[in-house]
Chain A
Amino acid sequence: MSSVLKLFILVLGVVFVVAVVFLLVKRRINERNSLPWLAGSLVILVLSAVPELLDFLARITGIDYPPALLFLLATLIILFILLYQSIQISVLQDKCRELAQHLAIINSSGEKTVHEKRGKMCMAKQEIAATCETEEALRETYDNRSD
């Protein structure tokens, strides 16, 4: 591996780490989600520092062309991260839906429909009527006594 290429990969790794840390500081990504990316940048840094590692791994896995192993590993890691993201999105969608439903029900809980109001009015009228009847009965009893 030429020294220019080595330097390029090293710079790439450092930029990656700095970018992830910058996002963490700015709260654009949380610690939990930053871990796979930090691990990825660590792999880039290690490979740029010790490129012989890739040749060694390719030899023991029987891969003739070492960069092919790099592509394979990179693709697998990206697929893994994408799958993880899809799981996270599904969980978030479920939670978001649940929250929206609860919010809608809570918002509507104070409102009374015309039918409910009518029902309450009927009950109030019945109560008033019952009270009037009692008063009427009392008055009658009182009148009878005074007679």
Chain B
Amino acid sequence: MEKADCLVIIPAYNEEENVGKVLEDIRNLKIALDIVVINDGSRDKTEAVVREAGEKVINLPYNLGYGAALQAGFKYAVSTGYEYVVQFDADGQHDPKDILKIFHKLRTSDCDIVIGSRFLEKSSFRTGALKKIGISVFRFLIRMTTGAKITDPTSGLQGLSKRVFNYYAVMGNYPEDFPDADTLINMILLNYRVKEIPAHIKNRNSGKSMHTGIKTAFYFIKMLVSILVVLLRKKSKVECLKNE
């Protein structure tokens, strides 16, 4: 049996109720791909559920955060030599069939990053008003700074080429909490090609969402600062190149 060249990375934090079903649905796709679940210091039976499903699990010693868990997955993908990865959420919101579309797009086009967007097609997925405003602002900022039209910068469903996850796996190249508009702007400015495909996002099976209440406001401000930093870094880099 040949080793698959595609890896699905699923960061999971206290997702014992959802992750089993997610793994089963992905395996039911019946395509050659490997799955790795990054257990981000869960206190429930997430690890046991994944092992029971017979999938690879990497246990982080303590809760590092969503971005850091994903980065651990990228490091694993680099060390084991995969060609493509898809990041997929463990909460059951993503449709496994979209993985096929993302892999197809990655293989057949020259894209480096393929984003599964919730907003390219009409779906039953509902977002809060505050979140909607946040996403609109980020969309606008991406448009302003890079010229690219990205409808869903906060999507957790993304496919990445080897070039991208090799870059992300390096210390300091990926945010520890939530990779978002700042990461995308950085990648577009570094000349990586980003495309979106429509994705179907369901409402959560069970458990709590990552962005709630006051945290959303804090997150929004933090993201604005991150974007500013990305732009300043880029500017200094360009100036360095000019001086050389």
> Which residues of the partner chain A approach B72 to less than 8 Å between Cβ atoms?
100-101, 104-105
Q: Assess whether A87 is interfacial by the CB under 8 Å rule.
A: no
Establish whether residues A113 and B60, one from each chain, have CB atoms under 8 Å apart when the complex forms.
no
Establish whether residues B171 and A104, one from each chain, have CB atoms under 8 Å apart when the complex forms.
no
Interface residues of B in 1-38 (CB under 8 A from A): 1, 34, 38
Establish whether residues A103 and B1, one from each chain, have CB atoms under 8 Å apart when the complex forms.
no
Among B54, B58, B176, point to the contact of A104 (Cβ < 8 A). Answer: B58
Give complex CA distance A118, B34 in Å. Answer: 13
A82-121 to B contact mask, C-beta < 8 Å, 1/0: 0000000000011001101111110110010111101100
| Interface size band for A | 20 to 34
Among A94, A101, A115, point to the contact of B60 (Cβ < 8 A). Answer: A101
Establish whether residues B59 and A101, one from each chain, have CB atoms under 8 Å apart when the complex forms.
no
> Which residues of the partner chain B approach A115 to less than 8 Å between Cβ atoms?
34, 54-55
Q: Assess whether A130 is interfacial by the CB under 8 Å rule.
A: no
> Which residues of the partner chain B approach A93 to less than 8 Å between Cβ atoms?
176
Establish whether residues A97 and B64, one from each chain, have CB atoms under 8 Å apart when the complex forms.
yes
> Which residues of the partner chain B approach A116 to less than 8 Å between Cβ atoms?
56
Task: Kindly count the residue-residue contacts between A and B in the assembled complex, taking CB atoms under 8 Å apart.
Answer: 53
> Which residues of the partner chain A approach B172 to less than 8 Å between Cβ atoms?
94
> Which residues of the partner chain A approach B82 to less than 8 Å between Cβ atoms?
none
* Residues of B in contact, count (CB < 8 Å): 22
Establish whether residues B1 and A122, one from each chain, have CB atoms under 8 Å apart when the complex forms.
yes
Establish whether residues B1 and A123, one from each chain, have CB atoms under 8 Å apart when the complex forms.
yes
Q: Assess whether B62 is interfacial by the CB under 8 Å rule.
A: yes
> Which residues of the partner chain A approach B76 to less than 8 Å between Cβ atoms?
105, 108
Establish whether residues A104 and B59, one from each chain, have CB atoms under 8 Å apart when the complex forms.
yes
Establish whether residues A107 and B59, one from each chain, have CB atoms under 8 Å apart when the complex forms.
yes
Give complex CA distance A123, B3 in Å. Answer: 12
> Which residues of the partner chain A approach B114 to less than 8 Å between Cβ atoms?
none
Q: Assess whether B128 is interfacial by the CB under 8 Å rule.
A: no
Establish whether residues B171 and A94, one from each chain, have CB atoms under 8 Å apart when the complex forms.
yes
Give complex CA distance A18, B56 in Å. Answer: 54
| A99 closest partner in B (C-beta) | B61
Establish whether residues B71 and A101, one from each chain, have CB atoms under 8 Å apart when the complex forms.
yes
Binding site for B on A (CB under 8 A): 93-94, 97-98, 100-105, 107-108, 111, 113-116, 118-119, 122-123
Given contacts A101-B75, A105-B75, 16 further A-B contacts (CB under 8 A): A97-B68, A97-B176, A100-B61, A101-B60, A101-B64, A101-B68, A104-B60, A108-B56, A108-B57, A108-B59, A113-B55, A113-B56, A114-B54, A115-B34, A119-B1, A122-B1
